[in-house]
Structure 1
């Protein structure tokens, strides 16, 4: 199982509602804003995490699919960065 992180930036002059719509959309696709570990860790604004069944997901394909689906859903340009975590730690 691989852990992925995605950072999304929406283009244009958008209001807060566009990012609320993005949050709802990402949750519907199983991307979360909080990492549950020994302590819950909230991620920064417009940053999400998800787990995949594959150990070696195609992150470029995932980023492109996210970009296209976000642009269709929210009707604005999106910049999408997806990274696979090999190991991470958080502090509060």
Structure 2
């Protein structure tokens, strides 16, 4: 597997993981709500701890989204550079 393909694979994997993490955190938050729409926790400390971890998880997911965008951008740049090199080789061979 060359560098171009690995950039694409890493970009897709990090994007899928980050979207899955955001979905999982939001789903947990949704199912923690009661009939009145309030989140139910067993204690104040549990409330603080869970919310803190969810906030860290969401920031981690947002960071992974940025990283995946950078991977996908670098993949497109590397692919264009590779195509330009191949075009240059074809024109040199035809001359």
Using the size of structure 2 for normalisation, the TM-score is 0.28
Structure in which a larger fraction of residues adopt strand: 1
Larger radius of gyration: 2
Using the size of structure 1 for normalisation, the TM-score is 0.29
